[in-house]
Each structure stands twice: as structure tokens, then as C-alpha cells.
Chain A
Amino acid sequence: MLDTFLTLLQPLTFLIILVSTTIGIILGAIPGLSGGLGVALLLPVTFGMPSEVGLAMLVSIWIGGVSGGLIGSILLGIPGSPSSIATCFDGYPMTRNGQAVKALGAGITASFLGTVLSITVAMFLSPMLAKLALKLGPWEYFSLGFCAISLVAALSKGSVFLGMASAALGLLLSTVGFAPIDGYARFTFGSIYLGSGLDLVALMLGLFALKQVVADYARGQQQVPEVDMTDIRGFGVSLREYRDNAWNIIRSFFIGLWIGFLPGMGSGLSNMVAYAQAKSASRTPEKFGEGIIDGVFASETSNNASVGGSLIPMVALGIPGDGTTAILLGGLMIHGIQAGPLLFTNNPGIVYALFLTALISAVLVLLLQYFGMRLFPAILKIPYHYLYPAVVVLGFVGVFVGSSTAFNYLLLLGFAALGLIMDHCRLPVGPFILAFILGPMLELNLRRGITYADNGLELFLIRPVSGVLLALALLSILWPYLSPFLRRSRAKDIAN
């Protein structure tokens, strides 16, 4: 391990890690781009490099990208990637309240903690945890996804009906395109562009970026938010705030780690679930969405904890945890390295390079963002007539670069319109996006679960983990209606 560490600290290798981390942060911060895109784009560059160095470069971009997403979410209310959607919910209101630096400080430290702790866990517990993941079947995966959606929907603002309706809309839209297993084309209306489904980048940029531009312009909102830069020390977050959020951070970390290491899930889901849990456990849930630091801590700890989590099945089983680890796995294979149970025996240097680069990169992200956090709010000083045209252009270019099709412009405009309608009708956006992201995975596991056994449908209820998760989902939906009864009966008991 020491040899690998010293190799990574060689001047040229360290410079590559530093530059790659910086590129990752920038890509993560730009709406429509992500660290995953950077990994895909720069994968061919690593062909001529030694395996350790090439892998170090890709991992650094990835780590930088996940952490960089918080900048756009907090300062502009536009998530750089699905992993930082929940950061918008309170990070952006904090910016609007003049607390941009505090929100950034909380996000940066939470990102650091999430990454470092999850990588440390992954380093030592990978083989053991991976065996646990293999014991879960489609029944558990479906129930976990459904439970996550129900929790987020039930805890959204407004009634459960609004939250669940929003989730159902997301599920319905996720069915557009070729169905899993049989490839049947659903709701495509004969269009080849809809075959692969609705584009997630177009959905995110439409619902957040373009909708915001239209809404602010319509309201005549030209007021640039003030940023309170006075008396800011360290990360701008007090020791008391860290102490108050200690349990929130620990819980979010385990949520992120657990969801990250389940194949097919990842940081896109973990940030939403951790946010919903933080809100549910809070003594002041009504403050969520108005700009509370707890929401930023929850989202950013969990999405970065998923980084280490998703490395566990990749390293130990050769199963990628999410899209980016799938590309990383491809990178390993191109370099002639087979991930899986034998990787620790055959190529321990690669395993250590992977984990140590992630740790070095996390420290670099912390330092780069610490020095940058006082400069990032300068974005907010840009008047809207300069900022918003750039947001619009980046939005349209962002949806084009991933697919090279002009059809995505239509989707982008359509989702912006949908976002405006949802805002007007008070339909929460969180459950909608979560359901859209998880829809294909849910459907695949639902069908697999029914098919794998004669009593497949029953197994969703009788397998212990699956049954508990479904019960939790049902309870979260019914809770708003049950809790008044429970409160009334408790009050009666006290009166008697």
C-alpha cells in the first residue's frame, strides 16, 4: 500500500490527480455535465498511461464531479448532476437568504466526510459487504426503490396525494421507450427518438434551469441575492451546527453507503432518501425547503458516501454500482485488469491505487473548494441579464452533447413547461425525479421478481427485508392520516 501511495505522490502523477480533480469540480458544477461525462470523455486519454496513473486520473475526475455538483445547486438552484438534486432544496433557499457561503461550507465539509469515510469503509470491508449484496434478490431491490419513493413523496410539502401523484407521473414517464426484458416500444408514438426513453439531462435542466429562468423573468425578479461575507471563519459553519447535525451526518452517511453499494442505485437516489430522512427526523420539518443547513448536510454527505459504496461491488464482484463505475470498470478491462473477487489477490496495487486516489482527491477537493468558496459566490454578483442567457445556452448545449439530437430541445422545453405547471399546482418535484430515475430499475425487478418463482408475487411480501420495506412504504403513505388518531387517543389517555 505504501508503494502505491508513493507512486501516486510522484510529481507528475500528483499533478494529473490535481488537474483531473479540478476538471471534475468544473464539470460537476456546469449544468448538464458531470464527472461521469468527464470520465467517459477522458477514458481514451488513459490508454497510453500506466494502469495506476490512468485509473488515478479517472477516479479524480469522478470524485471532483460528485463534489462539484453542489456549487451549481447551492448558488443557482440548478443541480449539476442527479446526485445533488436534494442539495438544491435547501442550498438554494439559503443562498436567497444571504447564506451562500454557509451552505457551501456545509456542503464542502459534508462531501469530504462522505467521501473519506465511505472510501475507508470500502477499503477494509469490500469483500464482506459485497457478499451481503449478492444475497438480495429482485424482490428486495423493488421494495427498496418503492419504499424510497414513498418516503420522499410522503414527506414532500403539501398532501400525500400531491407527493404520490408527482411520483406516479415520474413512474409513468419512465415507461416511455423500450420496455425492459422484451424491448416492447411503449408510448413512443412511432418516434425513434423516444425509443431509448426520455432524456434525464433534459428533464433535470428543464425542471430546474429553464423553468427558473422563465419564472424569474415572468415575475420580473431582477434582485441579485446578497451574500453575507462578514465574519466568516473557516467553512462558515459553527461548531454547534456541526454538533447539532452529527446524527444527521452519520445517518446520511450510512444511507449513502448502503444505497451506493446496491448495483443500479447510486448517489442519484441516496441524496433524496437522506434528505427525506433528515426532514422526517427533524424537530423543525417545516423549515425544510426554506433554507435549513440540515438539508445540505444530509444530501451532500449521502451522495458522496455513495462514491465509496459503489466502489465496493465494482472492486469485489466486478458489478458496477452506477453509470460512472461502469465506465471505470470498462477502463480497468481496457488496461487488462479483471475486477472481481480475485482482484485483491492478483492486482492489489490497482485496488490500493483506486482507493488511495479517491482519498487524495477528496483532500484536494476539500482544499480547492475551501479556497474557492469565497470566490464561488461571485457568480451571484453577475447580473441576471448576463447570467441567465448563459444558463439557457448551457442548458440547450448540455442536452445536445449527450445525445447529438435536436429532439432533446423539445424535451427540454416540455419539461420546463411541466415544471411551471407543477409549481403552480404545488406538485413537488423531488418524488417526480426520483420516480423517473428509479422507474426502469423498479420495473425490471418487479417483473424479474414475479418471473423467478411460481409464487414470485408472494415473495415480495414474505421475504423479510422486502416485506419490512413494503410495510415501511405503506406506513409512510398512511402516516399523515394515522398520526392524528394516535395523537387524539394519546391525549385521551393522558386526560383519563
Chain B
Amino acid sequence: MNTDKPLGAALLVLGAGGVISAAQISVRTFNNDPGPKLFPMMACAILIICGLGLLLRKSNRVTPAIPATEWRRGLTMAGLLVGYALGLWLVGFHAATFIGGFALYWAIAGPEKRSLMRGAIYALLLTLGVHLVFKTMLGTFLPQGFLF
């Protein structure tokens, strides 16, 4: 699949949307100050030019399509990352990292390398190690969790 054309179209839409959105910015300025709309418009103008360039130029470059297994694995990892983010937000660093660390280990190790005990010990050490560095040594805040 050639990605240049769809990308060019997307950039064109994004640039046009940005220009319309920036044009609606209304603020009183002094001393010839162009105000806060000029810079986003400039960025969008470059996007539009590049979008048109990609759409109009000849390109035979073909990007291979992503295989179904790669999609499945990618979405699984994305799901785990979203789950970990939700966990940090809801239950805080310690519980989320122990469970999330174990889940990530389990998924990445695969059926051949994973072990329940090793995974649990690893997740525990990971949680304690990060706590030690960030909370104890550096004195920074770690996520507390929305529910606690």
C-alpha cells in the first residue's frame, strides 16, 4: 500500500481544520502584534503545502501491509498499556504496578518462557525497586490512585 496519498490527504484535512480553528481566535492586540493565531496558521499552511505535495507527486513506494498477527499482538500490548494506565489512575502505583508488571511479563515472555512464580517475584521486585528509587531516594510522589 502507498501511504503517501492517504497521508497527504490527512495532512490537508488537518491543516485546513487547523486554519479554520485558528482563524476563530479573537483577541485584542497592540503594537502590530499579529496575535496568537499567526503561528498555528503558519504551521497549518506548511501542513497543507506538504499534504498537497504528497498528493500530487509521483510515488511508487509501497509500504507492506501489516499482517493480521501483528495487528493482534499490537492491539494486545496496547490493551495492556491502557489497562496499566487505568490501574495507576484507579488503584495507584503499588497495586497497578504489581499486577501490570506481571501481566506485561506474562504476555512478553510467551508460553515457552513464562512461569507464575518467576513472574510474581519479578513484579514484586519491580514495584519495590521503583518505589525505592523514586519515593524513598528521590522523595517524589508516586500515583496514589483515584479510589484510595
A interface with B by C-beta (< 8 Å): 30, 41, 159, 161-162, 164-165, 167-169, 171-172, 175, 179, 181-182, 184, 186-187, 210, 213-215, 217-220, 222, 383-386, 388-390, 392-394, 396-397, 400-401, 404, 406, 409-410, 412-413, 416-417, 420, 424-427, 439, 442-443, 446-447, 450-451, 454, 456
Contacts and interface: CB of A to CB of B under 8 A. Distances in A.
B46 A385 contact: no
Contacts of B105: 385-386, 389
Contacts of B47: 165, 168-169, 172
Given A181-B33, A385-B114, A404 B54 contact: no
Given A186-B36, A214-B81, 17 more contacts: A159-B54, A161-B54, A161-B57, A214-B74, A217-B76, A385-B105, A389-B122, A392-B81, A392-B84, A393-B101, A397-B134, A413-B82, A425-B4, A446-B39, A447-B34, A450-B34, A456-B32
8 contacts: A41-B138, A217-B73, A217-B108, A219-B73, A220-B73, A383-B113, A385-B113, A417-B78
Nearest to A422: B7
Nearest to B54: A161
Contacts of B42: 171
B143 to A, nearest CB: 6
Interface in B89-131: 89, 93, 97, 100-101, 104-105, 107-110, 113-114, 122-123, 126, 130
Given A159-B57, A217-B108, A393-B97, A186 B44 contact: no
A161 B50 contact: yes
Most-contacted residue by chain A among B35, B77, B101, B146 (CB, 10 A): B77
B131 to A, nearest CB: 10
Contacts of A159: 53-54, 57
B43 A214 contact: no
B88 A396 contact: yes
B31 interface: yes
The 4 closest A-B pairs by CB, nearest first: A218-B74, A179-B36, A385-B109, A165-B50
Interface string B17-42: 01001100101010111111011101
Interface residues of B, number: 73
Given A390-B126, A392-B104, A425-B3, A406 B89 contact: yes
B11 A396 contact: no
Contacts of A454: 32
A385 B146 CA distance: 29
A186 B88 contact: no
Nearest to B131: A397
A400 B29 CA distance: 36
Contact of A401 (B54, B66, B140): B140
B116 to A, nearest CB: 13
B81 A210 contact: yes
Contacts of A222: 108, 110
A164 B81 contact: no
A182 B35 contact: yes
B60 interface: no
A409 B74 CA distance: 18
Most-contacted residue by chain B among A384, A386, A404, A443 (CB, 10 A): A386
Contacts of B148: none
Contacts of B109: 383, 385
Contacts of A443: 39
B35 to A, nearest CB: 7
Given A383-B113, A392-B84, A400-B143, A172 B18 contact: yes
Contacts of A169: 43, 47
Contacts of B114: 385
B18 to A, nearest CB: 6
Contact of A184 (B21, B27, B81, B142): B27
Contact of B77 (A164, A214, A394, A409): A214
B50 A168 contact: yes
Contact of A213 (B33, B77, B101, B133): B77
A171 B43 contact: yes
Nearest to A179: B36
A420 B78 CA distance: 11
Contact of A165 (B25, B54, B85, B88): B54
Contacts of B77: 213-214, 217-218
Given A393-B101, A400-B88, A425-B7, A172 B44 contact: yes
Contact of A182 (B29, B54, B78, B143): B29
A361 B100 CA distance: 39
A392 B100 CA distance: 9
A217 B32 contact: no
Contact of B78 (A214, A220, A406, A450): A214
Contacts of A186: 22, 25, 36, 40
B1 to A, nearest CB: 10
Contact of B88 (A406, A424, A451): A406
A412 B143 CA distance: 15
A477 B7 CA distance: 20
Contacts of B108: 217, 222, 384-385, 388-389
